[in-house]
């Protein structure tokens, strides 16, 4: 465990899904952590994880350069975890530039930027383009930044596995869009370990693609979720023409199963190039089966009693 005793590390988006795991690991290593986000009160649940005075909470919106500059002032390192499917350009492109420029101006020694596999300024999807533009802006302003590109991130609070598990619990026939699309799900705890490991000179200037030990198709992932939750379901793999029409015609509607941009993202496999990013950062990847029991049990017909009955 790397010792960060006394260092002040600002985590933008520290109260989010990935952020809470990053903050926990930084506190365990003795760092002083400044959690910066638009609604810092939503992150105060993290305060008991640290010692007296070990955590700070500040208001910052990455779209507002002045608020970012205030948030990173005096920091030894900055970790930017902010991302969104809303205002992708403002948050993931312009916002990333604001963070990198502020970190450079403040004399921050280390910057870790969270991007995503598929980040590409020429991507067909707005998400991929905004992530790619964000990476380019970070490199231009802070060349020594470490950039992390995870595949789909899973864990207790995720919005991916949980969403499908809910759907599988509710309906007997499950439509599968883009059944052949490939993913390399990576555990949120491993991404957090990678973010902490990326602080410092060894990772400076490098880009790491982060994937777990398994590559699954969308259809395979859906069947895995059904098996893990004890649900027998009929899966119907939709032809691409039908799925594309659904995304184009109804993707704008609230609660739509998929948006047009998400459909475009699914046209490219979400698999780490080389698959060595975690290993390069000294992190052993965690498989879905290793942690699923701890949270997917809630989707079983009889909850925890389903496991007892099966023994």
Instruction: Give percent of the chain with pLDDT exceeding 70.
Output: 93
Number of domains in the chain: 1
Q: How far apart are CA 78 and CA 100, in angstroms?
A: 9
Q: Residue count of the chain, please give it.
A: 311
Using CB atoms within 10 Å of the CB of residue 182, give its burial: 0 to 12 exposed, 13 to 18 middle, 19+ buried: middle
Query: According to the model, what pLDDT value does residue 309 have?
Result: 41
Residue 65, token pair as written in the block: 């350069």
**Domain presence at residue 21:** yes
**Domain presence at residue 178:** no
**Domain presence at residue 300:** no
Query: According to the model, what pLDDT value does residue 306 have?
Result: 52
Pairing between β-strand 182-183 and β-strand 216-217 as defined by DSSP bridges: antiparallel
Query: According to the model, what pLDDT value does residue 308 have?
Result: 38
133 and 141 Cβ atoms separated by less than 8 Å: no
**Domain presence at residue 239:** no
Query: According to the model, what pLDDT value does residue 15 have?
Result: 96
Query: According to the model, what pLDDT value does residue 185 have?
Result: 95
**Domain presence at residue 128:** yes
Query: According to the model, what pLDDT value does residue 128 have?
Result: 95
Residue ranges of the chain with per-residue pLDDT less than 70 = 1-2, 250-257, 274-275, 303-311
Pick the closest to residue 4 from 24, 294, 180 (CA basis). Answer: 24
Q: How far apart are CA 86 and CA 40, in angstroms?
A: 19
pTM for the predicted model, two decimal places: 0.92
The boundaries of the domain holding residue 110 are 8-155+185-213+270-285
Query: HSE of 297 in the Cβ direction (CA atoms, 13 Å)?
Result: 11
**Domain presence at residue 145:** yes
Residue 98, token pair as written in the block: 């604001």
**Domain presence at residue 172:** no
Query: According to the model, what pLDDT value does residue 88 have?
Result: 94
Q: Give the domain CATH number at 18.
A: 3.40.50.720
**Domain presence at residue 298:** no
């Amino acid at each position: 465990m790397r010792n960060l005793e006394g260092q002040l590390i600002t985590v933008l988006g520290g109260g989010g899904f990935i952020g809470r795991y990053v903050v926990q690991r930084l506190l365990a290593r003795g760092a002083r952590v400044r959690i910066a986000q638009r609604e810092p009160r939503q992150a105060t649940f993290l305060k008991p994880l640290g010692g007296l005075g070990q955590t700070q909470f500040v208001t910052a919106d990455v779209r507002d350069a002045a608020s970012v500059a205030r948030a990173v002032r005096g920091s030894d390192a900055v970790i930017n975890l902010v991302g969104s499917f809303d205002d992708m350009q403002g948050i993931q492109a312009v916002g990333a530039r604001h963070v990198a420029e502020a970190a450079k101006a403040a004399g921050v020694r280390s910057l870790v930027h969270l991007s995503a596999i598929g980040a590409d300024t020429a991507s067909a999807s707005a998400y991929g383009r905004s992530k790619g533009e964000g990476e380019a802006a970070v490199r231009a302003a802070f060349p020594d930044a470490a950039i992390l590109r995870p595949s789909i991130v899973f864990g207790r609070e995720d919005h991916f596995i949980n969403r499908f598990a809910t759907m599988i619990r509710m309906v007997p026939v499950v439509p599968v869009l883009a059944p052949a699309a490939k993913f390399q799900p990576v555990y949120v705890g491993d991404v957090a370990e990678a973010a902490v490991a990326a602080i410092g000179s060894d990772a400076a200037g490098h880009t790491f693609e982060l994937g777990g030990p398994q590559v699954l198709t969308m259809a395979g992932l859906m069947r895995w979720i059904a098996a893990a939750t004890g649900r027998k379901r009929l899966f119907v793999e939709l032809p691409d023409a039908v799925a594309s029409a659904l995304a184009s015609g109804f993707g704008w509607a609230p609660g739509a199963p998929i948006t047009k941009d998400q459909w475009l993202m699914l046209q490219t496999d979400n698999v780490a190039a080389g698959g060595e990013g975690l290993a390069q950062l000294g992190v052993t990847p965690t498989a879905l089966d290793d942690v699923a029991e701890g949270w997917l049990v809630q989707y079983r017909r009889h909850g925890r009693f389903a496991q007892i009955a099966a023994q």
